[in-house]
Amino acid sequence: MSPTWSSSDKDFVTTALGPARLWATIGHGVINEVFWPSTGQPQIRDLTFYLVGDDGFIDLKRRRRYTLQTPAPNVPLLTITHSGDEYRLVLEIVPDPLRDVLLIRFDLEGPHRLVAVLAPHLGGTGAGNTAWVGDQVLMAQRGDCALALAADVPFTGASAGFVGASDGWQDLTRHRRLTWSFAHADNGNVALTGQFEGASGVIALGFADKPDGARSLARASLAEGIASARASLREGWEAWGKTLRLPRVADSLAAEARLSAAVLKAHEDRAYPGALVASLSIPWGNTTDTLGGYHLVWPRDATLAAFALLAVNQTQEAVRVLAGFISTQLPDGHWTQNYYPNGIAFWTGVQLDEAAFPVLLAAKLRELGNADLEGTKEMVRRALTFVATMGPTSDQDRWEESPGTNPFTLAVAIASLVAGAVWLDARERDYALSLADDWNERLESFCFVTETPLAKSRGVRGYYVRLAAPEKDGGLTGRVHLSNRNGETIVASALVSMDFSYLTRLGLRDARDARVTDTIAVADALLRVDTPSGPVYRRYNEDGYGEKADGSPFDGSGVGRLWPLLTGERGHLALQSGEDPVPYLETMVRCASFGGLLPEQVWDSAPIAKRGLEPGRPSGSAMPLLWTHAEYLKLLVASDAGKPVELLKAVEDRYATKSRAAETWHWRTEAAFSRLAIGPRLAVEHRAPFTLHYGFDGWQIVAERIAECGPLGLWSVTFTAAELHPYTEINFTRRFPSGWEGTDYRVTLGHEQVVHALTHHAS
């Protein structure tokens, strides 16, 4: 049988706050993936439990009659109680804070014996594992990863088999009891089975690079006892919980806040401190054996989680995230699309917002009074060089799909240029601020449309689009490829998303601006779905990332489902518009899993019981999603503070209280314009050296200028307002070392300048 991971429908995640490097996930009342020695390395598919009696067996994972209990929302010391008419099984899950061992105490009532079936996926795959039965221990190895399952009570039956052929579940299904006792299962998708003597005991699952080491750790943990591990785990998490700073809110909101903070804390790697993976889960994991999953660091997700940690007084965690960024930045200034906690790249796409986000984190830490880390200045300079050189377009938007100009990406880029300017020298700072002012002033020309069929049908003048195609493909009039939709395209002006919300979140536009309120009206009409949990939003209309119409798993195509984090983004817009954000927080809480975890997506159609899909409830995508937990915490804190956590004073001072006209408009192929107002300078820019061949008013007064290399790496020829004033247009083309560009450009001069006033409110 082909190996897969566990379902991403998780109940819980847990880890200890000690030197141990182990993380466990729980789903459907049993153990799912266990990660070791890093959050990027799942080592088992699952550890499941069965109750075997004289008349057959009970599959607890499929029966799903259980409760969960912890001492406090922020203390991930989990007790699972399975119960039925003739049985009661208590499982207490305790990661040992000192050793790479997961301890599980069991206490069984009823006429049954406890059986465990363990599916190793050592080295991150179910292929090529070898399992064997040792002396009162179950063992497995693949390469330099090994595990040992031991207990403080004897095994009364044990076997090593192959999944789908000779594993414990097959034995139970065929014989209604354990009959097999295979000693080895070599080089395959294997499973270990053990039956325990007695009604109570402690199981230890240990990991090491060699089998002997894993066995030694498991037995040492059993020898010291679960009581010691439990006390140490609880003490560590309770002490950490006392450092949280949260607003006073209703009990249900407060409980989810403390749990969300603990989830963020639990996802930080200890082998590589500061690395925050997006989720200890694999979307639709029970259909794939992919190694990546979501147990990777996305700079965007990690930064947003760091802002949430700062919001609840966890400064050192955020500092470590920044330190991790300093260590993993690429020489050209950006970060790879995502990477393992050790910095090794997984996907290598380029996303402009992910180059800008670490700058915002550095700026926030500085604003809060923290001293710069060693390397911060150089990190910021390299990042802003990349942003300035590559922007305002991006190879991928924040949904990692399409190239073009996106309001979310553009907002983050502009804010980074302003907030990061403090680390630049005088020439660099002037250029960064000039470019930010230009992009901010021209923002609507990049991604706002008016008088479209959609605008007319919704009774608004215009709205921000999800994405404008690259200039070469038509910009706002071009077509955008729909990922996960079998090659379909859609005109850019017909595609709407919640991405515009960061224009207000970061202080570039007022939430009461008519353009913003009109876009909210369109987004509410196209993206909002009222579920039993409350209103939840799609990423964009025509999205294809989610289960198929019949509920079967996403496999590269599907139907876009609802994202609770977008309810948080809508809540921020409500807050900044003077409305009550609490209903949005309450909706997010109702979207949580059985154990309080917040998912990537929830189901939006009629119930499909056989697939466990209910409207407004978690679907098969990632859970928990750090981004969702972070958004919840930030909205909760913002509702108390009255403003977003991400809002930086430098950006607010520059844009939020007054209109600012750009002193220079920066023309480049990716951000071209055909009209220039009276007043600004004109800078013609490119990433490579060039000679500008130009003239005025229909190629009169022809001349040439050699571009100079600017402070952040772009080559530029600049005309002052005085040089442009006598003429009605400028004509130009460029000659590169490789030859002529082959295109003539024209910019009309002297049209009336329009500054996008931030005080233009809807009436």
Q: What is the pLDDT of residues 227-240, one digit of tens each?
A: 999 999 999 999 99
Q: What is the pLDDT of residue 752?
A: 52
Residue 67: phi, psi to the nearest 5? -125, 160
The three-state DSSP-derived secondary structure of 117-171 is EEEECHHHCCCCEEEEECCCCEEEEECCEEEEEEECCCEEEEEEEECCCCCHHHH
Mean pLDDT of 209-214: 98
* Mean pLDDT rounded to a whole number for the chain: 95
Mean pLDDT of 592-604: 97
What is the per-residue pLDDT across 617-645, written as a single tens digit (0 to 9) for each?
A: 999 999 999 999 999 999 999 999 999 99
Q: What is the pLDDT of residue 682?
A: 98
Mean pLDDT of 25-54: 97
Residue 470 has pLDDT above 50, yes or no: yes
Contact between 538 and 562 under an 8 Å Cβ cutoff? The reply is yes
Domain 12-240 class, CATH top level: mainly beta
User: Distance from CA of residue 290 to its chain's centroid?
Assistant: 18
Q: What is the amino acid identity at position 132?
A: W
CA torsion sign, 173 to 174 to 179 to 185?
negative
What is the per-residue pLDDT across 320-347, written as a single tens digit (0 to 9) for each?
A: 999 999 999 999 999 999 999 999 999 9
Q: What is the pLDDT of residue 746?
A: 97
What is the per-residue pLDDT across 379-394, written as a single tens digit (0 to 9) for each?
A: 999 999 999 999 999 9
CATH, domain range 664-751: 2.60.40.2840
Q: To the nearest 5 percent, what fractions of the chain are helix, strand and coil?
A: 35, 25, 40
- How far apart CA 263 and CA 17 sit, in angstroms, is 12
Q: Which residues of 21-40 are buried (b: 16+ CB within 10 A; e: fewer)?
A: bbbbbbbbbbbbbbbbbbbb
Measured CA distances, 692 to 389, 686, 734, 744 (Å): 18, 11, 5, 11
Contact between 414 and 388 under an 8 Å Cβ cutoff? The reply is no
Question: Comparing C-alpha atoms, which of 652, 659, 512 is closest to residue 576?
Answer: 512
Q: What is the pLDDT of residue 659?
A: 72
Question: Comparing C-alpha atoms, which of 683, 565, 695, 574 is closest to residue 632?
Answer: 565
**Mutual angle of helices 514-526 and 564-576, in 10-degree steps:** 150
DSSP 320-388: HHHHHHHHH--TTS---S-B-TTS-BS-----HHHHHHHHHHHHHHHHTTPPPPTTHHHHHHHHHHHHH
Q: What is the amino acid identity at position 19?
A: P
* Domain 12-240 matches domain 664-751 at the CATH topology level: no
Q: What is the pLDDT of residue 7?
A: 94
Residue 682: phi, psi to the nearest 5? -115, 120
Q: What is the pLDDT of residue 59?
A: 96
Residue 399 has pLDDT above 90, yes or no: yes
Question: Comparing C-alpha atoms, which of 73, 124, 647 is closest to residue 340?
Answer: 124
Q: Which residue is associated with the tokens 């919001």? A: 311
Question: Comparing C-alpha atoms, which of 229, 231, 255 is closest to residue 244?
Answer: 255
Residue 761 has pLDDT above 70, yes or no: no
Residue 572 has pLDDT above 80, yes or no: yes
Mean pLDDT of 524-529: 98
Question: Comparing C-alpha atoms, which of 41, 49, 7 is closest to residue 27?
Answer: 7
Q: Which residue is associated with the tokens 């850019």? A: 492
Give the percent of the chain with pLDDT over 70.
98
Terminal-residue alpha carbon distance, the chain:
63
**Mutual angle of helices 352-367 and 315-328, in 10-degree steps:** 140
Residue 755 has pLDDT above 60, yes or no: no
Fold of 243-656: Glycosyltransferase (1.50.10)
pLDDT confidence band for 581 (50 / 70 / 90): very high
Residue 759 has pLDDT above 70, yes or no: no
Mean pLDDT of 295-311: 98
Q: What tokens does 560 get?
A: 């876009």
Q: What is the pLDDT of residue 485?
A: 84
Give the percent of the chain with pLDDT over 90.
95
Q: What is the pLDDT of residue 658?
A: 65
What is the per-residue pLDDT across 643-678, written as a single tens digit (0 to 9) for each?
A: 999 999 999 999 976 678 999 999 999 999 999 999
Q: 0.85 cut: is pTM over it?
A: yes
Q: What is the pLDDT of residue 756?
A: 40
Q: Which residues of 247-274 are buried (b: 16+ CB within 10 A; e: fewer)?
A: eebeeebebbbbbbbbbbbbbbbbebeb
The domains of the chain are located at 12-240, 243-656, 664-751
